[in-house]
A and B are shown apart, each in its own frame.
Chain A
């Protein structure tokens, strides 16, 4: 393997897992970090001058939709992982709501094979909790665990009954470190929902989904985790009361973790006033108080991870009447910049905590041991180098096959320069190398 020898010289190395935030050189050789320190020997290495740049563990997205198999008009494993690499990600976890559903090891193997062919990011497929995502019969979790799956989710659909979730959590206890991730939404309160229910939905004449549709299920799920001792993860938290429930559950010692998306950290229901379908997401964008609580929950560690919920949709699907457009926004290419621009720059989050949420925590939850740092000699070289000052505007073209970005037209500060995966440059000067 022609893995190059790379010397990152004079970077601000921010490595939450290693407890490091200082200017240093990092030498990469044979796919791994060879050395970290000052004035490292550059002999025969390709030198990357990093003055003013940040070197961090490669980002890890625990909630991605790569759409393959079945919805290749929206995204493929190749286009999605290329978008991930350009966004600074070295690992992503594609959700199971493909066609066919990733509810057995053969679909998992197919996704893995496509990822290996693309060779742009490490892919950790999420398996379905129930067969066909239908919420009734448990999927063959054991077989998928043997195939290396660690996180299971019926994402896009809520596990419909407490009984099914209870059984899944209990069943999964037999396997080490398996995490069940639920999309919390009471269907009876959200039929036909287009947005958060509140004064904005009433004014816009769009069917609303109250925060209670999420909160009531978060409560149910936490109680099932408490009852079973199972390992629960709450997908894309959106409301203040859900954050509070997770905070209390953690204090009680319930085995629960949670994620939040970049868009829920930035937008509110009021932003829907022009009926921009790129802001139609599920769970919906909620009130300013909810957004505030999400930011606080992320800062204090109640919320473990920032996850993109990268949800590509074809142009013609989103360029439609609001109530006919599908839910979702792409996010892989913008998540780091959003965190830097909207959270780190205004002082809501320090850079180390932001990177922990974008890399270390999701890597831990996914069991992606090669990712998330620490940046230390002998560790696999999965890294991102970014310019925290570069200004840019989110606009097409995107690397993703789709362009339904909630952040379209928004000014960003901070941009990825290089993404290094197992010692190889996946992205150089912001461009994918393959």
Chain B
């Protein structure tokens, strides 16, 4: 593994397998009465969140705590950042306080890369702008592998605003790395025209794609005004691309419906559809903790190949 996890390009297919296997051994910890192992006792993990994110922050916090690390949550509101402190100065401060790992969420693409220039600790990208969200991709890969038994050859559609989605980028790069067959689906304005260079296919017709899928992965539709220049209306989006009750029937039996959350029920996904058994959205959340435990453990010096060492301590 690389020193940092900034992008899915930082991990090899072998790394992915190792991360998912390690996560699997950590899954068990979450089922114990005392949900804790001493693997990272005495290490300090900082959650540096410049963007609101309840689920990712809590997931990382739980992951670090279950490994017995000390966790500091540093959110931009109500901190030195709101007094105009630069990212660099904040990073140097955290460095001086002895952060072993910094988990960063930032609205500016590439911020985790800048951070690595200023700190010695390990940097984990918890979502940077419209760039990547590699831990989300890894927990999604984990969920797919767990439910379907493999990643190679899986037929996955990622539906929605791929252009602005860090989840779509990381997941596409990860799936292609693992030999899956990826189709990006959405209005032509929201799919990068050069996307086939990534090794994926592109479609603008969700009905044509759905019957051939193992996984239908829906992205959150951004409904902020500045996004709306890309398609005429939320209504038209839902009509053309939303996974509704009638469409879901064309998905093959045994296929999965996934979503990184938070969902816009009634837009990209109908409420009834989100609650179907084949929708594994809650599993994604649960698995997120185990995958983040694995990442912290592997990056902070765990060896990860031995289940005993991980869970036995």
Contact = CB atoms under 8 A, between A and B. Distances in A.
B236 to A, nearest CB: 24
Interface stretch (B30-38, B149-157, B192-200): B192-200
B114 A205 contact: no
A250 B166 CA distance: 45
B88 A275 contact: no
Contacts of B105: none
A320 interface: yes
A323 B114 CA distance: 12
Interface string A73-108: 000000000000000000000000000000000000
B122 to A, nearest CB: 17
A17 interface: no
Contacts of B194: 198-199, 202
Would you call the interface of chain A mostly helix, strand, loop, or mixed?
A: helix
Contacts of A391: none
A206 interface: yes
Interface residues of B, number: 23
Nearest to B108: A321
Given A274-B113, A320-B86, A320-B88, A205 B131 contact: yes
Would you call the interface of chain B mostly helix, strand, loop, or mixed?
A: mixed
B132 A205 contact: yes
Contacts of B114: 275, 277, 319-322
B163 A204 contact: no
B106 interface: yes
B108 A322 contact: yes
A322 B113 CA distance: 10
B100 interface: no
Interface string A312-340: 00001001111110000000000000000
Interface string B110-145: 110110000000000000111110000000000000
Nearest to A192: B226
Contacts of B195: 202
A301 to B, nearest CB: 33
A44 interface: no
Interface string A142-162: 000000000000000000000
Nearest to A208: B192
B132 to A, nearest CB: 7
Contacts of B106: 321
B26 to A, nearest CB: 29
B86 A322 contact: no
B169 interface: yes
B25 interface: no
A319 B197 CA distance: 31
A199 B192 contact: yes
Greatest chain B CB density within 10 A among A199, A202, A323 is at A202
Contacts of A206: 109-110, 129-131
Interface of A: 194, 198-199, 202-206, 274-275, 277, 316, 319-324
List the 10 closest A-B pairs by CB distance, nearest first.
A205-B131, A275-B110, A321-B108, A202-B192, A205-B130, A205-B109, A199-B194, A275-B113, A322-B110, A323-B108
